Structure 1
Amino acid sequence: MKVQSVPWQLFWAFFRVGIFGFGGGPSMIPLVRAEVVTRYQWLTDEEFADVLAIGNTLPGPIATKMPGYIGYRVGGTMGCIASVIAVIFPMIVAMIVMLGIFSRYHDVAWIRGMGQAVVPVVMVMMAQLTWDFFDKSKASLGWLVSIAMVIISAGLIYWLGIHPGWVIGAILLAALLRPSSKKKTEETA
């Protein structure tokens, strides 16, 4: 891959995400994964999961944080700029056009139905991404730990109202503070 082609590849990858990412940031995550992990193989699934986890702990929309970071990682400053512009440009144009149409024809049933029709598709995309992450989790942590983390995280986020960023941050901190198996092996030797 030529260095000059990377910003253009990033632009087209994230332009596709911007065009087809109906529903905002969460619905874009599976599309970003399809481009950067499956199509271009810029990241592995594990690296993508790390970017997603860290991106969710930071303030601001995930729809621009992920392209910004991935673009910078793959193509430097120009890659970052190309990725962010590519993902927001379709959103800006679509918002202007759709809000213009909606404000003029908001009483027409099929206009109201457009937004409602996209919801099930986004739900399926998010379910697929959830299953993929759970599958990766059980492969690395096992069934019991994965299910326990799902239950504990759901309890903290949904029942106690703790922001997901705090939960992810606590897990990252616990992972950093946990002694590695390499250190344990060296200490016992």
Structure 2
Amino acid sequence: MKQKDTEYKDLMMIMLRTGILGFGGGPSVMPLFQHEIVDKYKWMSSADFDNSLAIANVLPGPIATKVAAYLGYERKKTLGAIWAVFWHLLPSTIAMIALLSAATVLNDSPIVQGVIAAVTPVVVVMLLLMGYRFAKTAYNGLGMILTLIACAVAGILLYYIHPALVIILFTLYGSQHYRLIGGKKK
């Protein structure tokens, strides 16, 4: 019984930390999720985390909430998923309720504009770090040439067409990748 209580408490603390410190949207909090899940608690390997993150990116909805639900489900099934999502969303829900009225008053404040300007580069660096991790994983699985082609195709499609097309095409390719590679190796 003590193990269950500890695991629910650990799950709650991870979700509170990611919920409180996850500024800038879901993708920017993924390194914190990875630190907590892979490095600190060792609940999954880095490769498993990358795979679950890739699957979560394909599904609709906020990425951080999907990762929280997935981790909770992996640890404690349905109740764990509900538990994790609740604790992950609680800090931002409280903050939104508490700061909603102040937002209209402070909207034109130079201090608030300065804080936003200071945080923006941090979020950009965190997103670049996540992109680097995805490219590194792709390089390990595909090699240099296919990774460069995939990045170029994704960039062109994102710029000229629509992100949904990128998601659909790369999901279809990813679902067939091992079958295609397996045929070449044999």
Shorter-chain TM-score tier: 0.7 to 0.9
- 1:138 aligns with 139
Cα 1:184/1:152, change in 2 over 3 Å: same
1:13 aligns with 2:14: yes
Q: Structure 1 length as normaliser, TM-score?
A: 0.85
Aligned residue type for 1:130: G
In 1, Cα distance between the equivalents of 2:81 and 2:179?
31
Aligned to 1:173: 175
**CA-CA distance at 1:26 after TM superposition:** 1.8
Could you tell me which amino acid in structure 2 is paired with residue 49 of structure 1?
D
1:36/1:42 contact within 8 Å kept: yes
SS at match of 2:3: coil
Give matches, 1:78-89, under 5 Å: 78-89=79-90
Unaligned runs of 5+ in 2: none
CA distance in 2, matches of 1:100, 1:173: 47
Task: Provide the residue aligned with 1:108 in structure 2.
Answer: 109
Paired residue for 1:38?
A: 39
Q: Which residue of 2 aligns with 1:23?
A: 24
CA contact (8 A) 1:153 1:167 kept: no
SS of 1:23's equivalent in the other structure is: coil
Q: Distance in 2 between matches of 1:135 and 1:107?
A: 41
Q: Looking at both structures, which has the greater relative contact order when contacts are Cα pairs under 8 Å and sequence separation is at least 6? A: 1
Aligned-partner residue type, residue 172 of structure 2: A
Aligned residues: 184
Distance 1:129 1:162, change over 3 A: closer
Deviations 1:40-94 (A, max 9, x none): 1222222122212211221211121111011101222232122101110111112
User: Is the 1:7–1:78 Cα contact (8 Å) retained in structure 2?
Assistant: no
Cα distance, 1:36–1:168 mapped onto 2, change above 3 Å: farther
Query: In structure 1, how many angstroms separate the alpha carbons of the residues matched to 2:79 and 2:163?
Result: 37
After superposition, the C-alpha distances for 1:101-156 in whole angstroms (9 at most, x for unaligned) are 22223232102322232111111111122222222322332222211211122222
- Taking the aligned partners of 1:175 and 1:94, their CA distance within structure 2 comes to 43
State the alpha-carbon separation in 1 of the partners of residues 161 and 139 from structure 2: 25
Matched, 1:156 2:157: yes
> What code does the residue aligned with 1:71 have?
G
* Percentage of pairs with the same residue: 32
Q: Deviations over 1:15-49 (max 9, x none)?
A: 11111111121212222122112221222222122
TM value normalised by structure 2? 0.86
Q: Which residue of the partner structure matches residue 61 of structure 2? A: 60
SS in 1 for 2:42: coil
**Cα distance in 2 for residues equivalent to 1:91 and 1:118:** 17
Residues 38 and 171 (structure 1), Cα distance of their counterparts in 2 relative to 1, 3 Å cut: farther
Where do 5+ consecutive residues of structure 1 fail to align? Answer: none
RMSD: 2.2
Q: 1:62 to 1:184 in 2, by over 3 A?
A: same
Between structures 1 and 2, the one with greater helix share: 2
| 1:175 maps to amino acid | H
Task: Tell me the residue number matched to 2:74.
Answer: 73
